[in-house]
């Protein structure tokens, strides 16, 4: 299998970490969604990363669909989803917000960094900032004081949350800043959870990288 995409992308990272968790060997094709756009279009007509090329040549795009394939490849027992229905619903709910947060964090950069000077749509930027803040608050309220979201076993929900928060911490740490007078930190549980995840060997083998 060949995973295409840089490790500054939270979507590429959630796939790379899952591949590591499943001990599935893969080649890593480190190309940029922007600088190598032409090459990427030949692989994925959407010109987006991640893309995962299977050994028979099939190309899967979109991290959630790629993970669906990998989960089925390893089987239910090894899959990074809780086996009970309630646990799974909670994990799905968490993944929805965490992956959406990553999308909003990437959109924030597109709206602020990639727009020509004078072309910034400030109401749009303000809306995305509010979406990021509300999602961080939501995740903070549900982040566990120890171990992982569902207990002892790491799930896709932990990975999605950790890679999104790491992306924000590296690219736009101001979203995480506590501007209140007390200044005790706005997201202590969320950040501690992110650090616990990032200390794992499977995360370290796919580290956030600023190219």
Ligand X SMILES: N[C@@H](CCC(=O)N[C@@H](CS)C(=O)NCC(=O)O)C(=O)O
Q: 106-136: string of b/e by CB count within 10 Å (b at 16+)?
A: bbbeebeeeeeeeeeeeeeeeebbebbeebb
User: Are the beta carbons of 31 and 4 closer than 8 angstroms?
Assistant: yes
Instruction: Compute the least distance from the CB of residue 74 to ligand X, in Å.
Output: 19
- Tell me: does residue 106 bind ligand X (CB under 6 A): yes
171 binds ligand X (CB under 6 A): no
156 contacts ligand X (rule: CB under 6 A): no
Q: Give me the 21-50 binding string for ligand X, x by CB under 6 A, dash otherwise.
A: ------------x-------------xxxx
- Which is nearer to ligand X, 136 or 160 (by Cβ)? 160
Q: Is 107 in the site for ligand X (CB under 6 A)?
A: no
Q: Does 64 interact with ligand X (rule: CB under 6 A)?
A: yes
Three-state DSSP class for residue 53: strand
The answer to the question of residue 13 lying near ligand X (CB under 6 A) is: no
78 is written with which tokens? 């090894």
Pick the closer one to ligand X by CB: 167 or 203. 167
9 binds ligand X (CB under 6 A): yes
Q: Judged by CB under 6 A, which of 36, 62, 140, 198 binds ligand X? A: 62
DSSP 8-state assignment for residue 46: T
85 exposed, middle or buried (CB, 10 Å; 0-12, 13-18, 19+)? exposed
Of 62 and 71, the one with the shorter C-beta distance to ligand X is 62
- Tell me the torsion sign for CA atoms 94, 176, 61, 27: negative
Rounded Cα distance between 55 and 165, Å, is 32
Q: Which residues bind ligand X (CB under 6 A)?
A: 9, 11, 33, 47-50, 62-64, 106
């Amino acid at each position: 299998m060949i995973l295409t995409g840089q490790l500054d992308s939270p979507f590429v990272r959630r796939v790379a970490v899952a591949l590591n968790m499943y001990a599935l060997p893969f080649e890593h094709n480190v190309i940029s969604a922007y600088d190598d756009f032409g090459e990427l279009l030949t692989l994925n007509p959407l010109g987006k990363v991640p893309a995962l090329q299977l050994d028979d040549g099939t190309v899967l795009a979109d991290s959630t669909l790629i993970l669906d394939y990998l989960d089925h490849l390893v089987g239910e027992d090894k899959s990074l989803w809780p086996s009970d229905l309630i646990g799974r619903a909670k994990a799905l709910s968490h993944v929805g917000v965490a992956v959406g947060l990553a999308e909003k964090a990437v959109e924030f950069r597109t709206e602020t960094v990639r727009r020509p000077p004078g072309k910034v749509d400030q109401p749009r930027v303000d809306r995305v900032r509010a979406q990021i803040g509300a999602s961080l608050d939501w995740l903070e309220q549900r982040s566990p004081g120890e171990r992982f979201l569902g207990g002892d076993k790491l799930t896709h929900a932990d990975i999605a949350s950790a890679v999104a928060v790491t992306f924000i911490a590296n690219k736009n740490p101001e979203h995480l800043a506590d501007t209140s007078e007390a200044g005790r930190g706005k997201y202590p549980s969320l950040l501690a959870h992110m650090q616990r995840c990032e200390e794992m060997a499977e995360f370290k083998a796919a580290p956030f990288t600023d190219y």
